[in-house]
A and B are shown apart, each in its own frame.
Chain A
Amino acid sequence: MADARISARATARTLGWVSLAASCAVLADDPRAWLERMERALATRNYQGTFVHEQDGQTETLTIVHRVNGNEIAERIASLDGSGREVIRHNGELTAYFPDQRVVLVESGPKEGLLLTELLRLDTAASDMYRLSEEAPTRVSGRSSHVVAVDPLDDLRYGYRVWIDDASAMPLKTQLRASDGRIVEQLVFTELSLRARIPDAALLPAVVARDYRWLRHAAPTSVTDSQMPAGNWGAAGLPPGFHLTANSTQILAGAGKAVTHLVFSDGLASVSVFVEPEPRRGSLPPGLAAPTTMTSVGSSSALQTEVNGHKVTAIGEVPPATVRAITGSLREGLGPPGRPAVGTRH
């Protein structure tokens, strides 16, 4: 099939879309069906494009190459704005290049399939937390699109507006919105091409990183007993809708020590909590609050504090209060009986 191309500049001359649209006839106008189509498109399409990431008046232009080959997903995202940084996911590994620091971070992720099933799938639990609706169709970059609204029913989570291309079901524009309607973040494709084939060369880093410092985490099997985080961690009194979806032990790139990685999700948003046995200050007497910092990472909120003499880092695409509430619900000794299995995800 000829490449299909979406571009503000090249829309009109795109004949490939005609056949694509015919083959992707809309089966239902239900917003859920549109989300599922988008999900399928993201999971199965090869694409290449440029998008603008906007937040609080800051913009960053990035380029993306995404290739699906059976169960294997490869992706390269790079900044076009000068830092030269890029992130490449390939064979279940994520590699982040920081040419300005001459550093490369390598992180092994879960199996790709695990991620795909989680994409914007509003399960039963999530449907109590979000309202799904469709807004009037509109145009983005000259293309007709359906607008699906996912609105949070409380202020503990963010919602989405997604402009889904009628013909390809690719998300042309995405907004993250607070419960009061405020736009937290926006991501707009200025150019997007669907490719029949993407060559390996398009997924190679632009930088030569041979001489960089490579921070790579060891294989999970190298986690020794002495490295295992003490205690089994769980949560009591989580914010409404959130539940523990993964509990694993892993070694973060460069850290050289095992951390417990808990993942909490409401079916759409997720919050990671990392617990490390690192009593930097000894055991604080009761009644003293451990130093806590809250930081924004893009649209995500990150919090660092200490719980029971452990260093705790929580990060998630939710409002700061939610990260705070989840961290506050952490309890030692509430995890599954026995030591958590290395690399196990539920």
Chain B
Amino acid sequence: MNQNELASQLSAMFDGELPAAECELLSRRLARDEQLRAVWSRYSVIGAALRAEPVAQVRPDFARRVSAALAGGAGSTRLRRGRLLRGAALGGAVAAGVAGVAIMLLRNGLPRQDEALTAYVPTVQRLALPVAAGTRPAAVRAGDGQASYVVPPATGGNNLAVPAVLAEYVVAHSEVSSPLARRSLIAALIASDSVQPAPSVPFNVTAPDAAPVNGAAQADGRR
């Protein structure tokens, strides 16, 4: 298995889209491959960066370096763009840099001089928009020798929106919460433009989850 295939598999597993049997195989490989474990951990950081923004110094040449890395790995066009970013990280590119680019796009928009990134902008913006107004860093918790990265809640965009994957849990929780809390939950459920009770939606760490893209929502004429 070459690096690109491995990147694809690892990314699919991270997104919960890899068949169980292949997950087991890859888990065993993860257990003995330290480099692969490091990549897995970096995925957490990238996922956090795409949806939030861990506060990090963004070096001016990050965009160019990541762009070059992405261009180099662009052969696997079958991969989703989120996977492309992570695939680049596996290829030894610049995991931290990818995070940095996400932050930079999020705060400043696309650097004009970097045309090569243009192709990826729609995806990154789509992921970034819901949290564009937020500046809270991703929470990092260390315990038992492992770190976990938690993406902070979106603080901008349509905060009343409920992610599709959460709709049924929101409904179930509303039945056991206090009436005031229930009213808030139901208001959120009703307000959302993007709720689609689709239980088959994969559990996906980098999904743009709830919040609809602002532009799309406006175009839709609902907000």
Contact = CB atoms under 8 A, between A and B. Distances in A.
Interface of A: 42, 53, 55-56, 58, 60, 62, 64, 77-79, 81-83, 85-87, 94, 96, 98, 100-101, 103, 105, 107, 109-110, 115, 118-120, 160, 162, 171, 174, 176, 185, 187, 215, 246, 250, 252-256, 261, 263, 268-270, 272, 274, 278-285, 287-304, 311, 313, 315-317, 320-321, 324, 328
A316 B20 CA distance: 31
Interface of B: 13-14, 16, 18, 20, 23-24, 26-27, 30-31, 37, 40-41, 43-44, 47, 51, 139, 141, 143, 145-156, 158-160, 162-163, 165-181, 183-193, 195-199, 202-203, 205, 207, 209-210, 221-222
B188 A285 contact: no
Nearest to A256: B199
Contacts of A85: 189-191, 195
Nearest to B133: A56
Contacts of A105: 167-168, 171, 197
* Interface-central residue, B27, B37, B145, B177, by most chain A CB under 10 Å: B177
Interface centre among A274, A289, A293 (most CB of B within 10 A): A293
A294 B160 contact: no
A94 B20 CA distance: 34
Contact of B166 (A64, A287, A313): A313
Contact of B205 (A79, A253, A291): A291
A274 B185 CA distance: 17
A299 B139 CA distance: 19
Contacts of A279: 20, 23
Contacts of A120: 178-180
A214 B63 CA distance: 47
Q: Which of B150, B165, B167, B173 has the most CB of A within 10 A?
A: B173
A118 B178 contact: yes
Contact of A288 (B30, B139, B162, B189): B30
14 contacts: A105-B168, A270-B176, A270-B181, A280-B16, A280-B20, A281-B13, A281-B18, A283-B27, A287-B146, A291-B47, A293-B47, A298-B159, A300-B188, A316-B177
A110 B176 CA distance: 7
A298 B184 contact: yes
Which of B158, B162, B175, B197 counts the most A-chain CB atoms under 10 A from its CB?
Answer: B175
A297 B170 contact: yes
A165 B178 CA distance: 19
A226 B43 CA distance: 34
Contact of A304 (B160, B189, B203): B203
B169 A315 contact: yes
A289 B176 contact: no
A302 to B, nearest CB: 5
